[in-house]
Amino acid sequence: MQVTVSPAIIKGTVTANPSKSAMQRAVAAALLAKGKSIIRNPGLSNDCLAALEVAENLGAKIKREHDHFEITSNGVQPFYDEINCGESGLGIRMFTPIAALSSLPITIVGHGSLTTRPMNFFEEVLPQLDVKCATQGGKLPLHIEGPLQPKNITIDGSLSSQFLTGLLMAYGAAAENVTITVKDLKSKPYIALTLQLMAHFGVQVEEQNFEQFHFGKKQAYNACDYTVEGDWSGAAFLLVAAAVAGKAEVHHLNTSSAQSDTAILEALEKAGARLMSGVFTVNIEKGALNAFEMDATDCPDLFPPLVALAANCNGTTKIKGVSRLAHKESDRGITLQQEFGKMGIKIDLQGDIMLVHGGTGIKGAQVHSHNDHRIAMACAVAALTADGPVVIKNAEAINKSYPEFYDHLQLLGGKVAVESV
C-alpha cells in the first residue's frame, strides 16, 4: 500500500487508539488466570491479534463481543505444538516463558521483522530454569520444552526489557520464594507497566530499585475485568502533528499512566509547544518551536515522533539512546537518517546520540517505511509541514500497532490519499 500525505493544517479532536503494550500483557495475564476475564477497549492491531491467537493456541477460549473480549482460561494448557507471534517483539519475548510453563514441546515462530530480531537470551536463560531451548543461530524459530521451574536467577536487561516482562509474567503463575536479579535494565517504565498489570490480575512482586524482583508465597492470577488504556506511543504522533501544524485535543490518554511514552509531553514542552493536560485529555497547539535535548533511552519508541518534531524545530536537537534502536522493526537510527534525509532533514548519528538539524525546511519526497510502523507514521507527520506531498511506500506497516492512524490523521484535517499498489 502506498499513502500520499500532503501538507495540511491540523485541527480537531480524536480518541487515542488502545495501547498494544497494555493489551498484549492483559491477554497474557488472562491466559494465565483461571476463569473468565473481560478485556474492554481492546486493541485490534496486528500485534494484539497475534497475542489473542497465541493465547488461544495455549489453551484460552476467546469470544469477541461488540466492545470487549471475553477470555476464559484454565491456565496454560496448549492444544497445539506451535505458536505464531506475528511480528511482535513483546509477544514472542513474553509468551515464550509463559508457553514454557507447560511440559509440551512447542515451536515458536513469527514473520517479517521478527525473524531477524535477537532471541539468544532464551538459549542462555531458559536452560537455567530447566527448559530445553534451541534457536536457529539466535533467531527464530525457537524450540522449547518445559516445564519452566522458577529459580533465583540473574539476567542482563540491557538489550530489551521484554525478556524480563516474559519471565515476570511466567514466574507470577508458578514462583515461590525466588528472586529475579537484573543487571543494566533498560526501558524500565515498561517493567513498571508489567508489574502494574500483574497487580491488577492479583499477582504482587516485591521490586527493589528495578534490580531485584522477589516472589514470596505462591500466587495465582485472578480472572478479572480490565480496560486497555489509550496508547501514548501512537498518540505521540498525533500530538507532534498538532504541535507542528495546528492544534488538537486527544482523548483517552491517562496523563498519570505508567506507559514510558508519556515522556512525549516533556519533549513537546521543551520544544515550545503549547500544552494543556487534563486527567484523560491532552490539548496541544503549535508554538514557536526550538531544538531541545532529550534522553530517550527508556522510551525508545519515541525516537520516530521526536525526529518528526525536531525536523520542525529551529536548531539542532540532541536525542540520547540511539543504541536502543538497532533491534526494533528496523534499525531505526539508520532508517530515520535515510528517510528523513530524503525529505531534506540531516540527521547525524554519533554513538548513542542522534543530532537532528531542524528548521531547514522539509521537502516533499518518496520515502519507504522499511516495514516499520513508526517510520511510516513519522514520515506522515513530517509531510504536514513539507513543501509538497510525501509518498510513503509500504505504508500498511502501521497495522502492527495503529491501524487507525491514517484515519485519525484525516479526522484531524490531514490530507491522506491511500492507494493499494
Ligand X SMILES: O=C(O)C1=C[C@@H](OP(=O)(O)O)[C@@H](O)[C@H](O)C1
Ligand Y SMILES: C=C(OP(=O)(O)O)C(=O)O
Dist. CA 322–CA 276, nearest whole Å: 29
216 is annotated as contributing to ligand binding? no
Which entry of ligand Y, ligand X, none binds 332, CB below 5 to 8 A by partner kind? none
Q: Is 328 marked as a binding-site residue?
A: yes
**Sites for ligand Y among residues 89-128 (CB under 6 A):** 89-90
Inter-residue contact 21 to 233 (CB < 8 Å)? yes
Residue 67 is among the residues annotated as catalytic for this protein: no
- Residue 110 known to bind ligand: no
Q: Which is nearer to ligand Y, 17 or 401 (CB)?
A: 401
Judged by beta carbon distances under 5 to 8 A according to partner kind, the member of ligand X, ligand Y, none in contact with residue 374 is ligand Y
> Site residues for ligand Y, window 380-419 (CB under 6 A)?
401
Question: Which phi-psi region, left, alpha or beta, contains residue 413 (left: φ > 0; alpha: ψ -120 to 50)?
Answer: left
Among 3, 4, 18, 21, which residue interacts with ligand X (rule: CB under 6 A)?
21
Q: To the nearest whole angstrom, how small is the minimum distance from the Cβ of residue 38 to ligand Y? A: 24
Residue 250 sits at φ, ψ, to 5 deg, of -115, 125
Q: What gap in Å lies between CA 413 and CA 355, rounded to an integer? A: 30
- Closest to 31 measured CA to CA, from 53, 46, 3, 10: 53
Distance CA 157, CA 280 (A): 32
Query: Could you tell me the strand order of the sheet in which 139-145 lies?
Result: 82-84, 106-109, 139-145, 132-136
User: Is-contact 259 229, C-beta < 8 A?
Assistant: yes
Pick the catalytic residue: 301, 352, 372, 407?
Answer: 301
160 annotated ligand binder? yes
For 352, left (φ over 0), alpha (ψ -120 to 50), or beta?
alpha
Q: Is 324 in the site for ligand Y (CB under 6 A)?
A: no
Between residue 66 and residue 95, which ones bind ligand Y under the rule CB under 6 A? 88-90
Footprint of ligand X on residues 285-344 (CB under 6 A)? 300-301, 324
Binding partner selected for residue 88 from ligand Y, ligand X, none, CB under the kind-specific 5 to 8 Å limit: ligand Y
Q: Which stretch binds ligand X (CB under 6 A): 101-109, 157-165, 337-345, 379-387?
A: 157-165
The entry of ligand X, ligand Y, none that residue 165 binds, CB within 5 to 8 Å by partner kind? ligand X
- Determine if residue 161 is labeled as part of a ligand binding site: yes
The size of the chain, in residues, is: 421
Q: Which amino acid type is present at position 290?
A: N
22 is an interface residue for ligand Y by CB under 6 A: no
Strands 281-285 and 68-74: unpaired
Do residues 173 and 221 make contact, with C-beta atoms less than 8 angstroms apart? yes
- Amino acid residing at 107: T
> Is 113 annotated as belonging to a binding site?
no
Q: Which does 357 bind (CB under 5 to 8 A by kind): ligand X, ligand Y, none?
A: none
Cis-peptide, bond into residue 189, ω within 30° of zero = no
Region 42-101 residues binding ligand X, contact defined as CB under 6 A: 90
Catalytic positions are 301
Contact footprint for ligand Y (CB under 6 A): 88-90, 301, 328-329, 374, 401
**Residue positions in the annotated binding site for phosphoenolpyruvate?**
20, 89, 117, 162, 332, 374, 400
Contact footprint for ligand X (CB under 6 A): 21, 90, 160-162, 165, 186-187, 190, 300-301, 324
